[in-house]
């Protein structure tokens, strides 16, 4: 019995059943979504338990022919990186169900159905081993998110939803062209098959060919990450989405982009990746600093967190394009960290919005006295987000910076500015929202956690501490995969060798 398949099928069946629940029983929809998402999470824990950590490659492979010609397979498997991303998705979905319990009253049935469908799409993206199947999941995850933002969002939700859909769709059509091109060249959609062909030299691309294909894939991923300057859809989507939508978007959906870069761009197009690395690293650093600076001046809490995402994701991209073991490890770890801590930030901001019905920072102040536990949870999350040692982000950021330092020290210097700036905007936010005199509105409306909210927030806090203190339990399987990716990027890399030597000669001559 394949253990991975139920992780994908449970939410799918849950989604189909959720459609059948009559509209007049919204409570049933909520309970059903909670049960299904918890069952999926449990199943993914079983998956984790039986994952063999000493192996580097794919596990739990399930391969079923789907369409005969062109040959397309329903082929799924998980490796040490996708496993964690699947767990991140299954871990956050029940939390999203819990935090939406009271805030989603209108059309609850459809909301929870879409949430489950979103989970299917997200999990599918991480485990698909067939390029066609990957594209299917990639696009399918777009639809529920579009509806989540557009139907249950805030005032400018329609604009944000359409912008989100069009940006991602436009990016991914070029990826589709590249996928078809790959198929015509390789004769298969099977991703492991293509990698084998590349490794054995049966399939190779000319440099310009590789560059165009790389850019087609990278463009789709970069929009999703989002990499500066393709990030403009993100603040709109985040701010307008309902809380659960923001959490899923920030925590999991953005990782589709970084995962794609790591999983597809680097192994398939190593030379082009390395050739573009300096440019992409510069964009990532601009994103880190720009995101942080813009976050600092936001009057809106959600927008602030959204821009902080641009900054954090810059670290991930930088780590990937450092082409060092530590950088890649850190990038993957940072994907997970960002999922936990930014997810928690969006959840907490959402809980405050539920109470005070405002996202403006100026409407708050003194929340710490009105709701001390809420303030405590927010503080821990803030500290995690700015990279305090013993909490999760510190490990990831440290690894990324160290890995980058090995590749290019100047990059590290500029990127480290982002860490400092993140402390500035987050602590300043905390000060303005939680300290000071509590206003009338805050005192009468902002109360502390209910039991249900505790249940949603505590697991997130626990994860922040665990991932900060005992990162080894996570990084072991990741390291095996990233080491393999690095190995793959050594295949046919004429550019780097040629570029390095003249530079060294130049320097010595100048002396």
Partner 1 sequence: MPASPLFNAADLIRFLPEIILTVAGTLLMVFGALSERHGSKVFGHASLVALAAAMAASVYAFTEAGPAFGGMLMVDGFATFFRVLVMGAGILIVLPSYSFLARQKAETAEYHALLLFSIAGQSIMAAANDLIIIFIGLEISSIASYVLAGYFRDDKRANEAALKYFLLGSFATAFFLYGVALIYGAAGSTNLTTVRAVFSGQSAPSAVFIGVAAALMFVGLGFKVSAAPFQMWAPDVYQGAPTPVSAFLSAGPKAAAFAIFLRIFMTALEPIGPAWEPLVWAAALASMTIGNFAALLQTNMKRMLAYSSIAHAGYVLVALTARSETGTAAAMFYLAAYAFMNIGAFAVVSHLSGRDEKYQGIADFAGLAEKQPFTAAMLSIFLLSLIGVPLTGGFFGKFYIFKAALESHLVWLTVLGLLNSAVAAYYYLRILVMMYMREPGEATVEAAPLSTGLGAALVLPALGTLYLGIFPGWVLDFAGRASGLVR
Per CB under 8 A, 13 contacts partner 1: no
Per CB under 8 A, 263 contacts partner 1: no
> E strand or H helix at 375, and its extent?
helix 372-385
Minimum distance of partner 1 from residue 174's CB (angstroms): 7
CA distances from 432 to 30, 175, 301, 436, 443 (A): 35, 44, 11, 7, 15
- Binds partner 1 (CB under 8 A): choice among 94, 150, 242, 319: 150
- Binds partner 1 (CB under 8 A): choice among 157, 303, 338, 480: 157
CA distances from 490 to 151, 339, 388 (A): 47, 30, 35
The interface with partner 1 within residues 421-450 (CB under 8 A) comprises: none
- Tell me the two tokens of residue 48: 């984790």
Minimum distance of partner 1 from residue 178's CB (angstroms): 10
**Residue pair 385/349 in contact by the 8 Å Cβ criterion:** no
Distance CA 203, CA 225 (A): 29
CA distances from 287 to 300, 317, 372, 465, 478 (A): 20, 10, 34, 27, 25
- Which one, 166 or 199, has the nearer CB to partner 1? 166
SS3 at position 63: strand
- Binds partner 1 (CB under 8 A): choice among 169, 353, 466, 495: 169
Q: Which stretch binds partner 1 (CB under 8 A): 77-85, 181-189, 258-266, 443-451?
A: 181-189
Name the DSSP class of 130. B
**CA nearest 170: which of 113, 86, 232, 123?**
232
Residues 65-104: x/- map of binding to partner 1 (CB under 8 A)?
A: -xxxxx----------------------------------
Distance CA 413, CA 391 (A): 22
- Which one, 146 or 414, has the nearer CB to partner 1? 146
Residue whose entry in the numeric block shows the structure tokens 């050739």? 275
Distance CA 34, CA 138 (A): 24
- Which one, 136 or 438, has the nearer CB to partner 1? 136
- Which one, 29 or 404, has the nearer CB to partner 1? 29
Residues 28-67: x/- map of binding to partner 1 (CB under 8 A)?
A: --------------------------------------xx
- Which one, 30 or 157, has the nearer CB to partner 1? 157
Per CB under 8 A, 173 contacts partner 1: yes
**Residue pair 336/251 in contact by the 8 Å Cβ criterion:** no
Minimum distance of partner 1 from residue 173's CB (angstroms): 4
Residues 234-253: x/- map of binding to partner 1 (CB under 8 A)?
A: --------------------
Looking from the CA of 30 toward its CB, the CA atoms found within 13 Å total 19
Q: Which residues bind partner 1 (CB under 8 A)?
A: 23, 66-70, 132, 135-136, 139-140, 142-143, 146-147, 150-151, 157-158, 161-162, 165-166, 169-170, 173-174, 176-177, 180-181, 183-184
């Amino acid at each position: 019995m394949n253990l991975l398949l139920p992780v994908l099928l449970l939410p799918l069946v849950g989604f189909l059943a959720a459609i059948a629940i009559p509209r007049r029983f919204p409570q049933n929809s909520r309970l059903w979504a909670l049960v299904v998402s918890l069952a999926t999470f449990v199943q993914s824990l079983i998956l984790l338990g039986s994952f063999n950590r000493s192996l580097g490659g794919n596990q739990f492979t399930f391969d079923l022919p789907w369409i005969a010609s062109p040959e397309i397979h329903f082929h799924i498997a998980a490796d040490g990186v996708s496993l964690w991303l699947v767990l991140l998705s299954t871990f956050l979905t029940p939390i999203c169900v819990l935090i939406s319990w009271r805030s989603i009253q209108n059309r609850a049935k459809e909301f929870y159905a879409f949430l489950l469908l979103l989970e299917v799409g997200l999990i599918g993206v991480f485990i698909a081993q067939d390029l066609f199947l990957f594209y299917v999941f990639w696009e399918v995850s777009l639809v529920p998110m579009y509806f989540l933002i557009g139907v249950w969002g805030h005032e400018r939700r329609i604009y944000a939803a359409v912008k989100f859909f069009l940006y991602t769709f436009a990016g991914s059509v070029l990826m589709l062209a590249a996928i078809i091109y790959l198929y015509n060249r390789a004769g298969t959609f099977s991703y492991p098959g293509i990698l084998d062909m590349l490794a054995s030299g049966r399939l190779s691309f000319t440099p310009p060919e590789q560059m165009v294909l790389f850019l087609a894939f990278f463009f789709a991923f970069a929009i999703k990450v989002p990499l500066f300057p393709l990030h403009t859809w993100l603040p709109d989507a985040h701010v307008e989405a309902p809380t659960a939508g923001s959490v899923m978007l920030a925590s999991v959906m953005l990782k589709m982009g970084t995962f794609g870069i790591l999983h597809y761009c680097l192994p398939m197009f190593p030379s082009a990746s390395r050739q573009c690395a300096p440019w992409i690293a510069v964009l990532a650093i601009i994103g880190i600093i720009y995101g942080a600076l813009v976050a600092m001046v936001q009057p809106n809490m959600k927008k602030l967190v959204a821009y902080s995402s641009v900054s954090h994701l810059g670290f991930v991209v930088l780590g990937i394009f450092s082409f060092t073991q530590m950088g890649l490890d850190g990038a993957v770890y940072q994907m997970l960290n960002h999922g936990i801590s930014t997810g928690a930030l969006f959840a907490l901001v959402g809980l405050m919005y539920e109470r005070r019905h405002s996202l403006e920072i100026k409407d708050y102040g003194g929340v710490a006295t009105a709701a001390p536990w809420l303030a405590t949870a927010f503080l821990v999350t803030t500290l995690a987000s700015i990279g305090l040692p013993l909490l999760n982000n510190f490990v990831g950021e440290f690894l990324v910076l160290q890995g980058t330092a090995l590749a290019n020290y100047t990059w590290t210097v500029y990127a480290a500015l982002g860490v400092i700036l993140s402390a500035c905007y987050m602590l300043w936010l905390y000060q303005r929202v939680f300290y000071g005199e509590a206003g009338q509105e805050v005192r009468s409306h902002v109360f502390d956690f209910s039991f249900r909210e505790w249940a949603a927030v505590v697991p997130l806090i626990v994860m922040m501490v665990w991932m900060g203190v005992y990162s080894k339990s996570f990084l072991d399987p990741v390291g095996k995969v990233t080491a393999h990716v690095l190995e793959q990027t050594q295949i046919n890399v004429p550019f780097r060798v040629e570029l390095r030597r003249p530079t060294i000669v130049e320097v010595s001559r100048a002396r």
